[in-house]
Amino acid sequence: METKTDAVRGFAETTHKAGSWKRQRRVVTSPDVRTPEWLCMPPGFFAMVGIIMRADIAPAPFNRSLCGWRVASALPLPDLLAWTGDGRQPDLVIELGPVPERLADLAVDRPLLQIATDGTCRFQVPDVASYLIDPAGRRVIVDPALPPEAPDIGVFLLSTVFGILCYRRGLLPLHASCVRIGQGAAAFAGPSGMGKSTLAAAFRQRGHAVLADDVTVLDLAAPDGPRVWPTFPRLKLWRDTLVRLNIPDAGLERSRAMLDKVHLPVDDAFCAEPLPLTAVFHLHPLGNEDDTPLRRLRGPEAVAWLGRDVYRSGLMARLGLSGRLLPAVAGGTWAVAHGHGPGGLDRSITRILERLET
Amino acid sequence: MTGFYWIASYPKSGNTWLRLALRELVQPNRRGGPRDRVGFAATASDRTDIEEALDIESSDFSRAELEALRPAAYRAMAAAASRPLYRKVHDARLDTAAGPLFPPEVTLGSVYVVRDPRDVAVSWAHFAGMSMEAAVAMLCDPAAILLPSPGRPALAVAQRLTCWSGHARSWLDAPGRPCCLVRYEDMLADPAPVLSRVSRYAGIAHGAADIQRAVEMTRFDTLREREIAHGFDGGQAGTAAFFRSGRAGQWRTALDPLQVARIEAAHGEMMARLGYARGCPARC
């Protein structure tokens, strides 16, 4: 239902394009849900006026760092490093507030995701939270169904919502973990369950700093070639993986209360600086012992594997984007037949290191 | 908007074999290569498929949450598809907290493959690398859940099986279009009419020559030779063969009388319904 509010309030937000303001349509039609105030405000508004004093939007007192962004958050987000950079205005604001059940003018209506024609996204995890993401990927409103301090809310903020933010900000998220090897970053990509986080944890044990777990963010427009932005210093691991890697699990927080998956802090082994992407290793299950263990991918085949491992490729398409660009990676892209049986992890690590050291 | 044909079975009942034969009808020019997988009717429990439909990372969800979201995932897949979808299923056809796991409104039909449970136990023991005793126990466990094997990537979500007869009942007695029942033993004895019947049911165009060719291409010996030459990753444990024996009645020598009796006591009613005679005298 369109209302006169459209005309009265203007809805100036906001595609942040080279300093120009692009008029957008409103996204909320339900008469009983107030339009979030930030939808009417230009980026930078909060820095100009200080703390928002609306009753239904909580302030964002926590200053965090994510992918080089200054994040002002109403949620504590303890997984993220504190912001220690300059006094810039927040690049991303995360607030608590009401999120409407339905967006207006839906372009995409999926089970958990709605995308309005103006690009606003609404993502909902039943019984956890709803998330409203502005079209530019600069503001998120979180409407929790759990107490706001519940770690569950951050878990989904840092997965699907984070993926949306990356796409909206022109970055390419890979479904990959990422560690520093030499002077560059190596990404281990593959579908869920393939062992990406386990591989990163094993590299950490061998002294390699971690840049990302599960979502590796690429800036393909960096002047010197593709660059990886570090995300946050923790790995999410199943408890049996900790046992397998002889990592003590005492005191580790569960990622969600009902999951036997814990957050392993890696503050001592986190690379907080962006690094050039030197190689991508696409993991696939080892079928037979005579599988080629490590195979260089070139041309269309390399593009196809990258397509497999773009983070939530369906989501990318639903956001109206396509990723057919193959980043030029000095160390190449590789298919790794990754064994999950005894010795499989060590064999993959040895082969990967051999490739990067020769 | 379209819907699904579910090609369902308890594990180790001939599902892969049937799908390989159907693939020969649907994609006659496709050839297997190294690590040949079936290439037709991917599993309905595939994590990536479910994640893409729901825009989620599945490992962030509990089993119960994921199960309750799966019906919505299938609805979304059906809504986006322009032709019928085929999926392999090992789940029992149960209700989730959000309604039927396989929503009737997007179900075009179900093919249910069944095999003598005593042979299923033998086959499962080889496949999973476990004892006959443990395999028999699984078939009799109403709370059995299929999980990724240790030492394998976890590429599928958990699947509730229930016990063998509970599984069969869930599919055979489901409301809606009656399922197309296929007995493994019939497929073994004379595959062409079975394949023809399934294809007709599932809307797969075929002629007599197509059926004959599909049967030839998927004779057990042929599949076995291909596996020896190229390997076949069907999810089996370690270096076990996927196409192992292809015979019926192995339970007579592989199971001990107590194991046979246990299966027959637990599943006698469904066995009788499906035409599997008891081999164990009532007293044992």
Q: Average of pLDDT values for A248-262?
A: 90
Alpha carbons A103 and A351: distance in angstroms, whole number: 49
Q: Average of pLDDT values for A237-266?
A: 91
Q: Are strands A92-96 and A69-73 parallel, antiparallel or unpaired?
A: parallel
Residue closest to B116 by CA, chosen among B271, B272, B273, B228 = B271
More confident residue, A36 or B172: B172
What's the confidence (pLDDT) of residue B230? 65
pLDDT at B4 over 90: yes
Residue closest to A133 by CA, chosen among A151, A159, B52 = A159
Yes or no: say if B127 and B25 are a contact pair by the CB < 8 Å rule. Answer: no
DSSP-based three-state secondary structure for B7 = strand
pLDDT tens figures, B42-63: 899 999 999 999 999 999 999 9
What's the confidence (pLDDT) of residue A329? 84
The chain-wide mean pLDDT, for chain B, equals 89
Give the count of alpha carbons within 13 A of B217, CB side only: 22
Alpha carbons A181 and B3: distance in angstroms, whole number: 47
pLDDT at A203 over 90: yes
pTM score, whole prediction: 0.85
What's the confidence (pLDDT) of residue A54? 47
pLDDT tens figures, A63-73: 999 999 999 99
ipTM above 0.90, yes or no: no
CB atoms A192 and B154 under 8 Å: yes
pLDDT tens figures, B124-181: 998 888 999 999 999 999 999 998 877 777 889 999 999 999 999 999 999 999 999 9
Collect all residues from B whose CB is shorter than 8 A from any CB in A. Answer: 34-35, 47-48, 51-60, 62, 64-65, 68-69, 72-73, 75-76, 148, 151-155, 231, 233, 238-239
If residue A261 lies in a helix (H) or strand (E), which one and from where to where? strand A261-265
CA A326 to chain centre: 20
Number of C-beta neighbours around residue A239 at 10 A: 15
Q: Average of pLDDT values for A298-306?
A: 89
pLDDT tens figures, A329-350: 888 899 999 888 888 899 999 9
What's the confidence (pLDDT) of residue A106? 96
| Tokens, residue B254 | 């592989």
Is residue A315 less than 8 Å (CB to CB) from chain B?
yes
pLDDT at A53 over 50: no
Selected for mutation to probe chain B from A288, A316, A318 (highest B CB count within 10 Å) is A288
The chain-wide mean pLDDT, for chain A, equals 83
Alpha carbons B82 and A110: distance in angstroms, whole number: 17
Alpha carbons A151 and A262: distance in angstroms, whole number: 11
Q: Average of pLDDT values for B223-242?
A: 68
CA A214 to chain centre: 8
pLDDT at B37 over 70: no
What's the confidence (pLDDT) of residue A195? 92
In the numeric block, the tokens 């009902």 are attached to A258
Alpha carbons B260 and A211: distance in angstroms, whole number: 55
Q: Average of pLDDT values for B13-27?
A: 89
CB atoms B233 and A288 under 8 Å: yes
Q: For A300, phi and psi rounded to 5 degrees? A: -60, -35
| pLDDT band (50, 70, 90) for residue A208 | very high
pLDDT tens figures, A148-190: 999 999 999 999 999 999 999 999 999 999 999 999 999 999 9
Alpha carbons A89 and A46: distance in angstroms, whole number: 8
Q: Which residues of B touch A290 (CB under 8 A)?
A: 231
Chains A, B: CB pairs < 8 Å: 93
pLDDT at B239 over 70: no
Distances (CA, A) of A193 to A340, B38, B39, B90: 10, 20, 20, 19
What's the confidence (pLDDT) of residue B235? 65
Yes or no: say if A65 and A273 are a contact pair by the CB < 8 Å rule. Answer: no
CB atoms A195 and B76 under 8 Å: no
What's the confidence (pLDDT) of residue A60? 78
What's the confidence (pLDDT) of residue B233? 66
| Tokens, residue B244 | 């192992």
